């Protein structure tokens, strides 16, 4: 099914029913400064691509080589928020996720906001990327679910990003769920470029380009290209990490509450360590990475 702009403005598309969709045109969001804009001139507010809360899942979106660009500070890329973001600390019935959302074959470029947010929540207790100040700008982001260490709370989402170029000034990808896959993508951002939450993820054959900045200028985010939390059983293989900017203690990857992570065939270009574990629950097997023999556990000198 050909996917056109529902507003006929070349700004955004939304999909909420199962099926295979193919984008028919490039999408670009921009707006004149307020002092130049006449009252009748519309302004884009929706994400470039969205799968709304309550969608049925089993959705395949092929960008067909098109470019999706927003030059607006508040402009968002791909957005899917599922579940419910309860913050009252009480137990609530779990809402089923929209499983098997696939996005592939094109490029998304934002500025301040993330290029991709695909999240299934059962609470909204993790506010790390919600209305986050980064310098003089604000990352709108979203709340994430806080598992409090229990990865059994995750439900299968099976989100897939494939053959994409994703670019933003700093945070590029926020993804939460179980069984998610990112493969053959080029991801260009800054500190905390890619942030993945949930078990059984596969991250393979990607290139991450991180321009490292002082955390004080990056909303307090450390110089980590790929952050994984609750990532039990994650497989991270055959990726290329390119570290630019002003690295100082930078690492390609960091893990929290992530047991049994497998790293294989990953390479680093630039001044950075391979990985860091942030707690005792995280364990990593490194296999033939940068010519090293397989190592198990934490690398020497890492906290």
In a domain, 208, yes or no: yes
What was the pLDDT predicted at 296? 40
Q: Is residue 253 part of a domain?
A: yes
303, part of any domain? no
Q: What is the dihedral of CA 184, 186, 191, 192, to 10 degrees?
A: -30
292, pLDDT greater than 60: no
Give every CB contact of residue 301 below 8 A, 6+ residues apart in sequence: none
The CATH number given to whatever domain includes residue 288 is 2.160.20
**301 domain residue, yes or no:** no
Please write the tens of the pLDDT for every residue from 1-23. Answer: 455 544 445 588 999 999 999 99
Range of the domain at 212: 2-296
Tokens 């990112």 identify what position? 182
pLDDT bucket at 89, cuts 50 / 70 / 90: confident
Domain count across the chain: 1
**Are 219 and 186 spatial neighbours (Cβ–Cβ below 8 Å)?**
no
Note whether residue 247 is domain-resident. yes
Between these two residues, 92 and 241, which has the higher pLDDT value?
Answer: 241
DSSP 32-100: --GGG--TT-----S-SEE--TT----EEEE-TT-EEEE-STT---EEEEEE----SS---PPPPP---
Residue 287 has a pLDDT of 85
Rounded CA-CA distance 226/218 in Å is 15
Q: What is the mean pLDDT of residues 87-115?
A: 90
User: In terms of C-beta density within 10 A (0-12 exposed, 13-18 middle, 19 or more buried), how is residue 35 classed?
Assistant: exposed
pLDDT at 42: 52
Task: Please check whether residue 43 lies inside any domain of the structure.
Answer: yes
Residue 81 has pLDDT above 60, yes or no: yes
Residues 60-69: tens digit of each pLDDT: 999 999 999 9
When pLDDT is averaged across residues 73-90 and rounded to a whole number, the result is 88
Asked if residue 302 belongs to a domain, the reply is no
Is the pTM here over 0.85, yes or no?
A: yes
Q: Does the residue 89 lie in any domain?
A: yes
């Amino acid at each position: 099914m050909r996917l056109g702009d529902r507003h006929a403005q070349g700004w955004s598309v939304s999909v909420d029913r199962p099926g295979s969709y193919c984008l028919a045109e490039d999408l670009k969001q921009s707006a004149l400064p307020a002092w130049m804009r006449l009252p009748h001139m519309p302004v884009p507010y929706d994400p470039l691509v969205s799968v709304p809360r309550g969608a049925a899942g089993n959705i395949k979106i092929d960008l067909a080589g098109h470019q999706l660009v927003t030059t607006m500070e508040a402009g968002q890329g791909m957005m899917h928020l599922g579940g419910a973001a309860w913050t009252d600390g009480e137990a609530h019935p779990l809402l089923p996720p929209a499983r098997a959302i696939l996005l592939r074959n094109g490029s998304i470029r934002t500025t301040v906001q993330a290029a991709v947010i695909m999240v299934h929540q059962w609470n909204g207790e993790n506010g790390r990327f919600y209305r986050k100040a980064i310098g003089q700008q604000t990352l709108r982001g979203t709340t994430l679910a806080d598992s409090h260490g229990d990865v059994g709370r995750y439900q299968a989402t099976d989100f897939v990003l494939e053959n994409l170029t994703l670019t933003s000034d700093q945070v590029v990808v926020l993804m939460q769920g179980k069984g998610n896959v990112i493969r053959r993508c080029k991801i260009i951002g800054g500190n905390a470029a890619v942030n993945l939450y949930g078990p059984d993820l596969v991250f393979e054959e990607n290139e991450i380009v991180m321009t490292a900045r002082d955390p004080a200028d990056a909303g307090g985010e450390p110089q980590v290209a790929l952050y994984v939390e609750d990532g039990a059983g994650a497989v991270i293989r055959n990726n290329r990490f390119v570290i630019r900017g002003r690295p100082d203690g930078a690492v390609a990857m960091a893990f929290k509450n992530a047991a049994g992570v497998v790293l294989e065939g990953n390479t680093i270009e630039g001044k950075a360590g391979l990985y860091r574990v942030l707690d005792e629950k995280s364990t990593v097997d490194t296999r033939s990475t940068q010519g090293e023999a397989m190592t198990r556990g934490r690398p020497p000198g890492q906290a």
